Each structure stands twice: as structure tokens, then as C-alpha cells.
């Protein structure tokens, strides 16, 4: 019988400042880019709604990924950048805790980008109802920092 561990014990670990930065890119059509940039998306302000979705995902990470600890998030920053027809989301998360915040940052990015896609999916579909060009790529942690243990 295979043994499956639950949540890894971290009670013995010291409180340390933890920071993680994650990023990812959503490839969109020029029609979607134009609609987002000019406030013409029927579902509302894409970047505003997607920012809220990203922040909520950071806070709900342990509900989505069963082995993640509940972490008292101290800050979450979401930024958006246009790179031609690509929308880049970057999420920075910090906490003073016993384990890192990489999964929280990654969940924030992926959910923010999924929310953006959802809001423009009617513009992204081709005549067959498919998404031939729309994709999320390069989801990754670009920075992870640990501070010194607290006294």
C-alpha cells in the first residue's frame, strides 16, 4: 500500500519574511486588445476584474492546492503590461511565515489571466467556436526571497 503524506509539518521552522514573484502571458487577438484598452468589453473592465480575481486566488490558494498551508498574506501586488497582443500579469506576494508563497503567486497569475480570457472569450472564438490562437504561456516564478529568521 502506498503511503501518501498530508500537509508537511512546519511548526518547527522559524518565522521568516517570504516574497515570491510570478508571471505569465495571455496571447490575445488584436480585437480583444482593442476592446480591453478602450473599455469596450461587455463584461466590464477586464484588468480591474482580473486584478480582483488574482488577489482572491492568492488568498484562496490552500483551498485549490490541498498540500498548501494557510499563510497570513501581508501583501499582494498585481501588475499588467501589454507586449503587443500579449497581456502579461505579474503577481508579488509577501508574508512572514514558515513556508514560501510561490504557489500563492502562481495561483494569482493563473487566475488573473483566466479571468481576462473569460471576459473576452466571445472575441477570441473563431467561426467554429474554438480558440485557435488564444493561450496562456510562460507561467513561472521569476523571483523567490527569504529573509533572516526573526528573534
Residue 137 DSSP label: E
pLDDT for residue 3 is more than 70: no
For residue 113, give the nearest of 133, 132, 135 by alpha carbon.
135
118 included as an active-site residue: yes
pLDDT of residue 137 exceeding 80 = yes
- Note the pLDDT tens digit of each residue in 88-123: 999 999 999 999 999 999 999 999 999 999 999 999
Q: Mean pLDDT throughout 35-49?
A: 97
Q: Give me the catalytic one of 5, 31, 34, 118.
A: 118
Grid cell 501518501 in the structure block, residue: 4
d(CA 111, CA 5): 27
Whether residue 133 has pLDDT greater than 70: yes
For range 36-55, the mean pLDDT: 98
pLDDT at position 9 is 80
Which domains does the chain possess? Answer: 16-146 (3.30.70.640)
Region 51-62 average pLDDT: 98
Q: Whole-prediction pTM value?
A: 0.93
Torsion of CA 38, 43, 48, 50, to 10 degrees: -120
Amino acid at each position: 500500500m502506498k503511503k501518501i503524506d498530508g500537509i508537511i509539518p512546519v511548526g518547527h521552522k522559524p518565522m521568516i519574511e517570504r516574497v515570491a514573484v510570478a508571471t505569465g502571458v495571455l496571447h490575445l487577438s488584436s480585437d480583444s486588445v482593442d476592446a480591453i484598452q478602450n473599455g469596450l468589453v461587455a463584461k466590464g473592465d477586464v484588468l480591474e476584474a482580473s486584478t480582483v480575481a488574482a488577489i482572491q486566488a492568492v488568498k484562496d490558494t490552500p483551498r485549490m492546492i490541498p498540500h498548501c498551508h494557510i499563510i497570513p498574506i501581508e501583501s499582494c501586488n498585481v501588475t499588467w503590461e501589454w507586449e503587443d497582443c500579449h497581456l502579461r500579469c505579474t503577481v508579488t506576494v509577501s508574508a512572514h511565515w514558515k513556508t514560501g508563497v510561490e504557489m500563492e503567486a502562481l495561483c494569482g497569475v493563473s487566475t488573473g489571466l483566466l479571468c481576462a480570457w473569460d471576459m473576452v472569450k466571445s472575441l477570441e472564438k473563431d467561426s467554429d467556436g474554438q480558440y485557435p490562437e488564444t493561450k496562456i504561456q510562460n507561467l513561472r516564478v521569476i523571483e523567490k526571497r527569504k529573509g533572516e529568521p526573526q528573534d
